[in-house]
Structures are given as C-alpha cells and as structure tokens.
Structure 1
C-alpha cells in the first residue's frame, strides 16, 4: 500500500515540476509587439516562433494597438480568413495558453494585416517531446527506483510544487 501512495506522490511531484518548468510566457514581437511587419520582412513572426521552444502549459502574449489577434485553423491561416476564429481578442494585451501539443495558427483580425505578414505558426511540443529533446533521448529513471530513493524529498517537493501545477494548468 505504501509503494502505491509513493508512486502517486512521485507522479504528482514530477507533474508539478514539469508544469512549473514548462510554464513560460513568450512576448510576441518583443518590444515592437504584434504589428504589421515591414514590407520586406513578412516572415518575421514565423522566424521568431521557429527560434523558440514552446511546450504545453506555455503562453504567448500579444501586445498591440488598434489591432486584434485570432487563433484559426490551418486552412484559414493559409487564406488569411478571419471569419471563424477559434480564439479572438482585441484588448491590446492578449494571452493565449497552449493546452495541448501541435501546431497553432495566429493571424491579425484587421483586414489586410494578415496578407502583409502579420501571422504566425507556433509548434508546441508535448512534455515527453521536450524531455526527450533536452536529454538527448536518454531514458528517465523508473518511478519505483525514484520513489524508493527519495521518499522524504518527494513529500516535501509535492507539498511545495503542487500549487504551481494548478496555476500552470489554469485552475
């Protein structure tokens, strides 16, 4: 019975650590924010997105004036179509949290801005993908070995990190 509770505690602890480490907010466009890019730099946002590593639990923040941001499907992204957004915000300071892995497509909601390059594709990795790429594909220790090695540490870590798990998950 004790090993089952230790395994559960380990899973909660590892989940909290992964979520806390993975919870990062990226600011789209840096100091310039979410703006129409210069005429000769229509891929600026996709270049920026490809230079960053996004994980489940991370968020991106869009800051803009007299504009908006939409999350759309791939087909709508390719057409710069903004009639059926998955997400829409025009508050000037919008945050979009990634709740699953995969590709996310963003465009400006202002007519003509998407066609001028104000659009972006973000590829989000699962925690497993991120773990494997950071560790060079090495395997993680088994939960039973870790549970047997660090029982007091696990209890302490779980009590300290569990609030971060809930804050990252949006609870």
Structure 2
C-alpha cells in the first residue's frame, strides 16, 4: 500500500513539474535588492542584470526594498523617469510582478530622484518558442511532411513527458 502512495505522489509531482516547472522567479538586485546604485557609474546596473537573464511568460521578478516603490510604466515615462499613471504600482517593500505577455517592460522607482540615479530597468520577455497552430494547420503539416510511422512523430514529445511515462512504467512493474 505504501509503494502505491509513493507512486501516486511521484506522478502528481511529475505533472506539477510539467505545468509549473518552466517558470522562474528572479530576485531583482540579488541580495542587495531594489536600491539606488551607489555610484553614477552604476546607473545601468539593473539593465545589465536584466540583459544577462532570459525571461518568458509566467516568470516573475521579485523586488525587495525599503522606503521605495516599483512602477511599471510606458517607454516614454521610463525615459522621463516620471509617471502620473503607471501601469502597475507597488510600495509594500516586497513586490512580485508576473509577466503575462511577451514584450518590453519598463520599471522605475516612484521616489523622486531615485530613477534618475539609476533605479530603473527594462526587461524583455521573449515570445513563446513555438507559436500555437490551429488544429487544421497542424494536421495538414503532419500529413504533408510526416508520412512515416510513429517514430517520425516521437520527436515532438517533450523530455518531461518521457520521464513521466518511464516513471509510470516502473511504477506499474514494482506495484
């Protein structure tokens, strides 16, 4: 009975990883958090950090700060370091922002003077790897380009799905 429960837990964990495992949370500014850069030479500190990471839909950025705020603004407002109507605003000291679309996101501090001193950042969220296709397009493509057997279609199965299948197979053997 115990092996059956372990098996079910493994299956549930695997399915959770399939659907939730690809998104990440990024800690903005590392251990220092969302703070005004110490020198004028660091005015691009957060943009440099953002350019070293790859963001996708579903990822989140976590801002930790004291006596400050985080605003998501338009490109024009970003360039002016000022916004009277931000797209997003938070000043709770522990802000998590989730990316729900691809494109550019402009972040600034809402505290006067902080943005001008480098507390600003642009993040590019990448387009999905494969654009969704309609069922008609998908079946037409498969019919015209993949006339072989099941082995031809095996390439499209994700590695996570294969792991789940293998775990299921071994779970059935050892039950």
TM-score where L is the length of structure 1: 0.66
Q: 2:153 — aligned with what?
A: 145
Distance (Å, rounded) in 2 between the aligned partners of 1:41 and 1:148: 45
Deviations 1:106-135 (A, max 9, x none): 000101100001000000012217xxxxxx
- Distance change (3 Å), C-alpha of 1:65 and 1:100: same
TM-score norm. by structure 2 comes to: 0.65
Aligned residue pair count = 128
**Where does residue 41 of structure 1 map in the other structure?**
42
Q: Aligned-pair distance for 1:79? A: 0.5
User: Could you say which residue in structure 1 is the equivalent of 2:95?
Assistant: 94
Unaligned runs of 5+ in 2: 1-16, 131-145, 166-175
In the other structure, the counterpart of 1:50 is: 51
Q: Work out the CA distance in 1 between the residues paired with 2:74 and 2:156.
A: 46
Structure-1 separation of matches of 2:157 and 2:53: 35
Post-superposition offset of 1:38: 1.6
2:127 aligned partner? 126
